[in-house]
Amino acid sequence: MNKSIIVGVDIGGTTVKIGLLKDSGEIMKKWEIDTKKSTDGTTVINDIWESVLVKLNELAIDLNDVLGIGIGAPGFIDGEKGYVYEAVNIGWQEFKLSDYMSRKTGLPVFVENDANIAVLGENWLGAGNLASDIIAVTLGTGVGGGLIAGGKILNGVNGTAGEIGHITVEPDGHSCNCGRRGCLETICSATGIVRQAKKYIEEDSTSKLAQLEKKNGAITAKDVFELAAVGDKDSIQIVQHTADVLGFVLANLAVTINPSKIVIGGGVSKAGDLLLQPIKNSFTKYALPRTSEACEIRIAELGNDAGIIGAAYLVKENIS
């Protein structure tokens, strides 16, 4: 019996990405289902498993060929115990995720924070190239992060290691979802970029940003990057400020774990070089030269598949 199929699950606030992967990381089938919010998570876990059984059946894969299930979930998580302390975005509290899923499926289940499985995936088959010291940042609606040091994911004592989005960068800044003020997330996420743009629009109702907002009824982070690319001064300043703050934080983190790679992913990273180059410049400006000389900053390569690939890697590592 060759157990070579892994189920990879990446639970997000609105959708769950699921994949059936070979142990080489190759995706055989991937799909999404809606995330049903509940206080304990059992609803969404039941939905996930039912949906997996349907796909296994469609592909004529025997349950005995499945090695295990890897799950990335948002929130504060104890990876060793597969325990979710709290996942604010989906309403979970104190949920024994791996125990519940294991009992339900009869398979080994391994759980990590969603940003951590994305860094595992990116480091295995993406831009990381199996670096043993790496920082990954995800710039999306919020800012996620994951740290691998000495080849191991850092979780810390209660699951908050690598919460890069909640490093304070402006003590009197905007309020953040975490209840504090001025977190990195309030500036460098898509939401933070839009907030910066709105400030420029308030100050000058004739600006290109204001015209675009009037025309479309809203402004997006993508709009800001597109205007910056064609030389709009306000948008260029927003991109520069965003990159400068992120470069500053990364320089300070880099002196903590001395990584060989920093990988930047998430929707905002689709801006590519327009964002990457100023981040590199700021990083070099703020970092200890010995630290920055050893470190390469790259855009992530796996896109939305990083999570399910990392979830498969989690199973592979734990079982081998």
Domains of the chain plus CATH, in order, are 5-122+305-319 (3.30.420.40), 129-301 (3.30.420.40)
Alpha-carbon span 9 to 111, nearest angstrom: 9
What residues have CB less than 8 Å from 6, skipping those under 6 apart?
20, 21, 22, 23, 66, 67, 68, 69, 70, 311, 312, 315, 316
Q: Work out the burial of residue 304: count CB atoms within 10 Å of its CB; fewer than 13 is exposed, 13-18 middle, 19 or more buried.
A: middle
- pTM of whole model > 0.85? yes
Query: Rounded mean pLDDT of 245-274?
Result: 96
Quick one: tokens of 61?
Answer: 């894969």
Alpha-carbon span 104 to 55, nearest angstrom: 17
Query: Rounded mean pLDDT of 289-304?
Result: 96
What residues have CB less than 8 Å from 209, skipping those under 6 apart?
197, 200, 201, 219, 223, 224, 227, 232, 234, 235
> Which residue is it, tokens 């595992």?
120
Average pLDDT, the chain: 93
Ramachandran angles phi, psi of 4, nearest 5°? -125, 10
pLDDT value at residue 1: 56
Q: What's the 3-state SS for 15-39?
A: EEEEEEEECCCCEEEEEEEECCCCC
Quick one: tokens of 40?
Answer: 């304990």
pLDDT value at residue 69: 98
Going by the DSSP 8-state scheme, the letter that residue 97 receives in this structure is H
Strands 92-96 and 27-34: unpaired
Confidence of residue 14 (pLDDT cuts 50, 70, 90): confident
Query: Rounded mean pLDDT of 41-67?
Result: 94
pLDDT over 90 (residue 30): yes
Going by the DSSP 8-state scheme, the letter that residue 154 receives in this structure is -
pLDDT over 90 (residue 256): yes
Conformational region of residue 206, where left means phi above 0, alpha means psi within -120 to 50, and beta covers everything else: alpha
Quick one: tokens of 72?
Answer: 């990335």
Query: Rounded mean pLDDT of 23-30?
Result: 96
Hey, how many other C-beta atoms are within 10 angstroms of the C-beta on 31? 14
Alpha-carbon span 224 to 194, nearest angstrom: 8
